[in-house]
């Protein structure tokens, strides 16, 4: 019903605000606001795919004279779109050769096989993979391995005890939560990061490097992983189990199925490591070798190009990826980035962001810290109910205007708000990882909410601390 109402309400709101007999701001701004209301309505209600909604600027902007087709389509070909495209291609290669599974199993093997160490191993492995491939794919990889370990508890001599149930809960929730926060570590780890970075580059000419983002994102992710682990195994769902018999065997069996490191895996691993190294050292490479102009998007495309064009068997002409593999690539997310950037560009060009800034600056009673804290909390709890990438696309111009009005650096407020969009811990529908582990049958909604509400509140506190103390020191 919500979808049906949203489907009609979106264009109706557009027509009402487009044809108002008076001006709210100015003629152009009113047109953009009308389009924005249509997009926001469809994004919130998911009346159609959120990627289809992102095509509205490309369709409507030229029609009503907000932007020419050439100007609006440039948003869909932004460098940030190609940064994420390259990241998606690398993720495809990692998954195709099963390297992501090998990395995960080896991390779990290192951490140990006592119950709590198994949970920690799964969380670390999930978080690491989520830095580079989609959190959905990561969770899908980790889930069957975790289910194999849980089956040991079901089939042991004492049956499925309360301690066993708490272990199953903690490992399932640990995987979902680690997948959510792991992606915060890198620009390509989760789409909201990329939308925010693209917005800053397009509207303010600010290039946020891969390394600078990691200087904020990685410490936050590591801190959250530690807190999630502690709360799950020590406070909310302690299991009190001794050694897990045969759990080590499961890990060894899974690794044995993969066999020794294959030539294809080595090929992908080399390209993956070189790409990571270039992303981290890009600014230094550009200083040392001024004739080379590296960008994060350029490095990402080089990696994608290499995976398609450098054969691992030259005589046979065999490549890691062929173009048909890209059928698995989430093209809709790339369209979504373009739509978010087009919406922000329209709002900025029409003066809506400046208007928000002036409105906020006229109220001298507002404190930047309090306003920032409210925005973080609103974003975090709203992301439990709707797409986080759509939320960031909607919120980024608004937060920018508020920051300008409060005479604050836009980044100081926008980064923690964008990061908050990936901290959804309470509900199964909040993120794909939450939904996937919920579908395992070992978690009830109230059990996820019981852990999630505390983690949501802790996330807000930590993000406020990062906003006040950490982000200003990095940026």
* CA pair distance 361, 368, nearest whole angstrom: 11
Q: Which residue has the tokens 């102009």?
A: 293
From CA 471, how far away is CA 91, in angstroms rounded? 29
Round the average pLDDT of the chain to a whole number and report it.
Answer: 87
* CB-CB contact of 207 with 199 (8 Å): no
Structure tokens at 325: 């593999």
CB–CB of 161/216 below 8 Å? no
Which among 131, 271, 125, 272 has a CA at the least distance from the CA of 188?
A: 131
Higher pLDDT residue, 232 or 254? 232
- Tell me the per-residue pLDDT of 162-192, one tens digit each, with 9 for 90 and over: 878 888 899 999 999 999 999 999 998 888 9
Task: Give yes or no for residue 155 having a pLDDT over 70.
Answer: no
What is the per-residue pLDDT across 332-378, written as a single tens digit (0 to 9) for each?
Answer: 888 888 888 888 888 888 888 777 777 777 776 778 888 899 899 98
Residue 61's pLDDT is 93
The whole-number average pLDDT for the span 410-418 is 93
Rounded distance between C-alpha atoms, residue 384 and residue 376, angstroms: 13
pLDDT at position 307? 93
- 3-class secondary structure, 17: helix
Burial 177-206 (b: 16+ CB within 10 A, else e): bbbbbbbbbbbbbbbbbbbbbbbbbbbeee
Q: Would you say residue 215 has pLDDT above 70? A: yes
Determine the Cα–Cα distance for residues 404 and 204; give it in Å rounded to an integer: 12
Closest alpha carbon to 343 in 19, 22, 38: 38
- Contact assessment for residue 28 and residue 310, using Cβ atoms and an 8 Å cutoff: no
Q: At what angle do helices 191-204 and 210-230 cross, to 10 degrees?
A: 150
Query: Which one, of 214, 220, 201, lies nearest residue 411 by Cα?
Result: 201
- DSSP letter for 236, please: I
Q: Is the pLDDT of residue 294 over 80?
A: yes
Domain boundaries, the chain: 80-328
Each residue's pLDDT tens digit, 398-410? 898 888 888 889 9
CB count, 10 Å around CB of 324? 7
Rounded Cα distance, 138 and 190, in Å = 12
Give the pLDDT confidence of 103-134 residue by residue, as tens digits: 888 887 887 767 888 899 999 999 999 998 88
Q: Identify the helix (H) or strand (E) that includes residue 417.
A: helix 410-420
CA distance 76 to 139: 29
Q: How far apart are CA 199 and CA 340, in angstroms?
A: 8
How far apart, in Å, are the Cα atoms of 70 and each of 108, 149, 354? 50, 54, 24
Question: What average pLDDT does range 370-399 have in this prediction?
Answer: 86
Backbone angles phi, psi at 390, to 5 degrees: -65, -40
How long a stretch of residues is the chain? 475
Residue 275 has pLDDT above 80, yes or no: yes
Residue 24 DSSP symbol: S
Determine the Cα–Cα distance for residues 76 and 341; give it in Å rounded to an integer: 8
- How large is the C-alpha radius of gyration of the chain? 23
Q: Dmax of the chain from CA atoms?
A: 76
Pairwise CA distance, residues 37 & 48, whole Å: 15
φ, ψ at 366 (rounded to 5°)? -75, 135
* pLDDT for 158: 59
Reported as a pLDDT band with limits 50, 70 and 90, residue 312 is: confident
> 303: which 2 tokens?
């990696």
Report the C-alpha gap between 349 and 330 in whole angstroms: 29
Percent of the chain's residues with pLDDT above 90: 33
User: In the structure encoding, which two tokens stand for residue 315, read together?
Assistant: 């005589």
Q: Is the pTM value of this prediction over 0.85?
A: no
Q: What angle do CA 342, 395, 209 make, to 5 degrees?
A: 75
């Amino acid at each position: 019903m919500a979808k049906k109402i949203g489907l009609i309400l979106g264009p109706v709101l557009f027509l009402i605000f487009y044809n108002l007999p008076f001006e709210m701001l100015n003629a152009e701004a009113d047109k953009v606001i009308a389009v924005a209301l249509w997009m926001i309505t469809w994004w919130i209600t998911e009346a159609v795919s959120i990627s289809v909604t992102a095509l509205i600027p490309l369709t409507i902007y030229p029609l009503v004279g907000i932007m020419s087709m050439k100007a609006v389509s440039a948003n869909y070909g932004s460098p940030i779109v190609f940064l994420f495209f390259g990241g998606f291609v690398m993720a495809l290669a990692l998954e195709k050769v099963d390297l992501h599974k090998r990395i995960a199993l080896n991390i779990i093997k290192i951490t140990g096989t006592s119950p709590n160490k198994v949970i920690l191993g799964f969380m670390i492995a999930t978080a690491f993979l989520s830095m580079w491939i989609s959190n959905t794919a990561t969770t899908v990889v980790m889930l069957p391995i975790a289910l194999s370990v849980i089956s040991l508890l079901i089939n042991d001599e004492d049956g499925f005890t309360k301690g066993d149930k708490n272990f199953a809960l903690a490992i399932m929730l640990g995987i979902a939560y680690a997948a959510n926060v792991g992606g915060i570590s890198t620009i390509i780890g989760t789409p909201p990061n990329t939308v925010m970075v693209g917005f800053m580059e397009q509207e303010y000419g600010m290039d946020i490097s891969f390394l600078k983002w990691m200087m904020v994102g990685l410490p936050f992710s590591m801190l959250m992983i530690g807190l999630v682990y502690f709360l799950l195994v020590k406070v909310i769902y302690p299991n009190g189990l001794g050694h897990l018999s045969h759990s080590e065997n499961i890990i060894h069996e899974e690794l044995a199925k993969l066999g020794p490191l294959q030539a294809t895996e080595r090929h992908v691993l080399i390209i993956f490591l070189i790409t990571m190294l270039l992303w981290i050292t890009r600014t230094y490479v550009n200083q040392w070798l001024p004739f080379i102009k590296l960008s994060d998007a350029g490095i990402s495309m080089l990696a994608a190009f290499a995976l398609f064009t450098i054969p691992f068997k030259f005589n046979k002409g065999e490549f890691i990826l062929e173009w048909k593999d890209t059928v698995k690539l989430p093209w809709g997310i790339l369209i979504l980035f373009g739509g978010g950037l087009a919406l922000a560009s329209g709002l900025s060009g029409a003066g809506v962001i400046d208007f928000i800034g002036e409105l906020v600056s006229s109220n001298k009673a507002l404190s930047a810290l309090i306003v920032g804290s409210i925005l973080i909390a609103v974003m975090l709890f709203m992301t439990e109910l709707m797409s986080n990438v759509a939320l960031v696309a909607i919120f980024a111009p608004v937060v920018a205007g508020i920051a300008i009005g409060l005479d604050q650096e836009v980044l100081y407020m926008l980064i923690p708000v964008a990061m908050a969009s990936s901290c959804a811990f309470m509900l199964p529908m909040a993120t794909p990882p939450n939904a996937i582990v919920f579908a395992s049958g070992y978690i009830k909604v109230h059990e996820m909410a019981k852990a999630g509400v505390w983690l949501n509140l802790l996330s807000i506190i930590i993000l406020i601390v990062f906003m006040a103390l950490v982000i200003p020191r990095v940026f």
